Amino acid sequence: MRIVSLNAWGGRLYEDMLAWLREVQPDVLCLQEVIHVEGSPSDWLKYRDDGADLLQRANLLNEVAQALPGHQVIFCPAARGDLWHGDRAVSSLWGLATYVRRDLTVVGQAQGFVHGNFSPDGFGPHPRSRTAHAVRFHDPEEGMFTVAHMHGLRDPMGKMDTPARAEQARKLLSMVQGVTHAGDKVVVCGDFNVAPRATTFRLLAPVAPYELVTTRGFEGTRTSHYTKDEKFADYMLVNGPLRDAAFDVVRDPEISDHCPLMLNTA
């Protein structure tokens, strides 16, 4: 079983990302920062916020699905807001998506918000709504798995512990506990937007006590496209059966401003 978690960065390096996904063929892909625009007037739109003017790949959700044609797709939007094509506002959905190989038998799911609620009339002020998804499935060769991911809230003040971050961890824990059964192999991953040794990890320990990024000696999860000092954002937590599974923070190729996290369980 190959499980990959990646913040897609709005698809800004989508060609390299799609080529890499076709090559590695994850069985489960947990993808954060996904754009979906029905009938977009352009393949590229712009996100504008506080002086930022960032390109976004309008059809990223479906382009990743085309790169992984053997997978079913579960899209979990957090908000609907405007992207821009010149001076034209284009309504778009933004959230995360889970791509699961079709021959894996999905027997349970939970989708919900770890911060805020669905925002239908704009992305709103920071910290914006954030969603999470957990899926339980059976693999004929390796048995039962529960895989969950979230895109943790962004705080302009930094990645320190806050009450809101503690609450999102509790909500994610509850979501995972509502899906998983005794004996499952459990993976909890995503762009948590927290610093190493955050309270988040202690709160998630009842379902996934082993954090693989820092305990395996990796020195960050951001690529050269990210120029700020803090190099940790993405994490993968597992339970006992997966404690010693092969794991990597993939640095080459660079397909986002985040590194993919890749777990190989057999």
- Percentage of the chain modeled with pLDDT above 70: 100
User: Which residue has tokens 């992984």?
Assistant: 68
Phi, psi for 235 (deg, rounded to 5)? -145, 155
Q: Please, which pLDDT band fits residue 193 given cuts at 50, 70 and 90?
A: very high
- Domains in the chain with CATH codes: 2-264 (3.60.10.10)
Per DSSP (E only), the strands in the chain are 2-7, 28-36, 44-49, 52-57, 71-85, 88-101, 105-115, 130-139, 143-151, 185-191, 210-211, 234-238, 246-249, 261-264
At residue 190, does pLDDT exceed 80? Answer: yes
Q: How do residues 89-148 score in pLDDT, each as one tens digit?
A: 999 999 999 999 999 999 999 999 999 999 999 988 888 899 999 999 999 999 999 999
At residue 51, does pLDDT exceed 80? Answer: no
Give the chain's largest Cα–Cα span: 54
* Calpha distance 204→6 (Å, rounded): 20
Q: What is the pTM of this model?
A: 0.97
- Region 55-62: mean pLDDT is 97
Per-chain mean pLDDT for the chain:
96
* Calpha distance 134→182 (Å, rounded): 16
Q: How confident is the model at residue 126, as a pLDDT?
A: 81
Q: How confident is the model at residue 50, as a pLDDT?
A: 72
Higher pLDDT, 127 or 152: 152
Q: How far from chain centre, in Å, is Cα 127?
A: 17
